[in-house]
Chain A
Amino acid sequence: MEVTETEESALKDKTNRQLRSKELLDELIDKAKLNKDDLEPSVQHIYLSNSLTANEEYKLLELDDDGLNYLLEGNSLIIRGSETENAVCCTKNATFSFKVAEISNPLLITSNLSLSGKCDLEASNSEVLFLTNSYFLMAKEKPKLQKIKNLLELNLYSGRAYEQNNAQKYTIEHFLDCIQASEEEIYQYLNYIQAFQIDGFWRLLDFRYLNQIMDNILKLIEEKCWLFDKIPAKDIYQELDSIYEISVLNQVVLYYFTRNEDDPNFYSIRKEKIVHFYADSILRATIKMRFTEFQMILEKSLPSNLGIEFNLCLIQDLCYVEEPYIYYLNVLDMPDDLEKRFKYLFEKRKKWCLEELRAFVQDLCSNNASEISNALTKYCRSYTQNGTKYFTSRV
């Protein structure tokens, strides 16, 4: 800061405030019993800014280094929320709670402050721009995404013929405006629930419609004698485009097949996903049935030469077995809050074993073993019987 001498020889600086006189300072130092020899020669005069009390526009936000670097690289943090919700703060791929911390000590945010006292100037002015007892802080949290599924279920897609013109449809922008989550997490969830992009809008397919498409594709594969690991996707589109939109067929292929690495024109069927799909189809229609009967019907529904043996672990997020019955229970229908989810599960069934429970909570635990383990410890009691560990509600 530059200092200019005025006629009255009262020193002023750029802020047009008088620098306090040397005599005054010397007196202060003396009265405060400070030893001038121990002091750095420069002093800083701290003023309150002209608009300090009027200033409702400043906020203090605590970040971690990653968050700060994210901002400094030119990205934006986005606060998302309404009056009735707790706000969240999002980066492109993560969601954080956005809360206020209140402390007893006042914090004075001061401009132009040297923190070493080693200053070129003998005297300079600083301004307190903001005075506060609170700051915002962020903590990583799991976003609530089920609302997306609820919205999409209001207008399921069953082909162009059944489209309702005035039904609400959603793009990613719509979701960013009403879902408290980051963009990446929204896309991941859309993929998780197998949403389709149709005419630029995100849709969920009516299950029977999807079932029909799957039946047609599998029938075609059988008719053409294609190998399950060498399916020409283009031919599927060609053969079926009179009945179904190519973009829909393409997305079905992307969800239920994988592209071959050695020849991108061909795809391999994802056998576990096909088993899961047909098991879903049977179970949701019956809800409860004899396990043996279910296995029989499933076998009949699947292509005979699919080459995969049925195993309960393939459909663990769809059902549970209590001999002799199998019960439909789909993870996609469950609450998206961990505490509520455990409550829901224990209301369905008093005790669960680890593999069963894991399948129903891993989506809320980032599929991470230690997160799952922590959740089980937090929300469940456990005991061992006949060598098997069972989990029950804590409540």
Chain B
Amino acid sequence: MVQIFIKTSEDTGINEWAIIELQGDLECENGKDINGKFMADLFFNKDGTPILILGHHVMYGKVCNLEKPMVLIKKHKKLNEIDDGMELDDMKENFKTEYLVKSVIRKKILFNKRPKPIVF
């Protein structure tokens, strides 16, 4: 059995991250690397309604509080503390996996209305 610790880090308090929830799958151009690519523009109406323009679609959404808060945790390999009694052989497996809380998320923007197509 293993014991894996989840704990806060210096980032936890500072980061303000949110969830954007889309309906359906995110389509990407086949075969192309999506890393680093531009995804969408996010506007807000003066009444607070979020509007997302993603590709050829415009979507209206709403800002919601999450029913229960979520945390984003990131895997981290930590060097085990060296025991006095440890032999060099023991040092092979001297990493321990732990998860650090990168941020707390309490809200999301939900886009679940049918997207409207944009004609260019």
Binding site for B on A (CB under 8 A): 17, 20, 25, 28-29, 31-34, 38-40, 42-54, 56-65, 68, 71-72, 74-82, 85, 89, 104-113, 115-118, 126, 128-131, 135, 176-178, 180
Question: B76: which A residues are within 8 A, CB to CB?
Answer: 57
Question: A45: which B residues are within 8 A, CB to CB?
Answer: 38, 40-42
- 14 other A-B residue contacts (CB within 8 Å) besides A43-B41, A117-B44: A29-B43, A33-B58, A34-B58, A58-B102, A62-B68, A63-B70, A71-B8, A74-B8, A77-B5, A77-B6, A78-B5, A111-B17, A126-B42, A128-B39
Partner among A106, A129, A176 whose Cβ is within 8 Å of the Cβ of B26? A106
**In the complex, how many angstroms separate the beta carbon of A100 from the nearest chain B beta carbon?**
14
Partner among A51, A62, A71, A80 whose Cβ is within 8 Å of the Cβ of B101? A71
Can you identify 20 A-B contacts, CB atoms within 8 angstroms? Answer: A31-B120, A40-B44, A46-B20, A47-B36, A52-B35, A57-B76, A58-B75, A64-B68, A64-B69, A76-B5, A79-B5, A104-B24, A107-B19, A108-B20, A110-B19, A111-B17, A113-B17, A117-B48, A129-B17, A130-B72
The complex places the Cα of A60 from the Cα of B1 at a distance, in Å, of 23
Question: A54: which B residues are within 8 A, CB to CB?
Answer: 35
**In the complex, how many angstroms separate the beta carbon of B36 from the nearest chain A beta carbon?**
4
A72 touches B75 (CB 8 A): no
Question: B18: which A residues are within 8 A, CB to CB?
Answer: 109-110, 113, 115
**In the complex, how many angstroms separate the beta carbon of B104 from the nearest chain A beta carbon?**
7
Binding site for A on B (CB under 8 A): 1-8, 12-13, 15-26, 33-48, 50-51, 53, 58, 63, 68-76, 99, 101-105, 107-109, 112, 116, 118-120
Question: A106: which B residues are within 8 A, CB to CB?
Answer: 21-22, 25-26
Q: Which residue of A is nearest B67, CB measured?
A: A62
Interface of A is mostly: mixed
A43 touches B43 (CB 8 A): yes
Question: A63: which B residues are within 8 A, CB to CB?
Answer: 68-71
Partner among B7, B19, B116 whose Cβ is within 8 Å of the Cβ of A76? B7
**In the complex, how many angstroms separate the beta carbon of A267 from the nearest chain B beta carbon?**
39
Q: Given A31-B119, A115-B109, A131-B26, A85–B39 Cβ distance below 8 Å?
A: no
**In the complex, how many angstroms separate the beta carbon of B23 from the nearest chain A beta carbon?**
6
A109 touches B105 (CB 8 A): yes
A117 touches B50 (CB 8 A): yes
B42 touches A109 (CB 8 A): no
Question: B108: which A residues are within 8 A, CB to CB?
Answer: 107
Q: Which residue of B is nearest A44, CB measured?
A: B42
Minimum-distance CB pairs A-B, first 10 = A117-B44, A57-B75, A32-B58, A76-B7, A77-B6, A79-B4, A108-B20, A44-B42, A82-B1, A50-B36
A60 touches B35 (CB 8 A): no
A178 touches B1 (CB 8 A): yes
Q: Which residue of A is nearest B112, CB measured?
A: A105
**In the complex, how many angstroms separate the beta carbon of A117 from the nearest chain B beta carbon?**
2
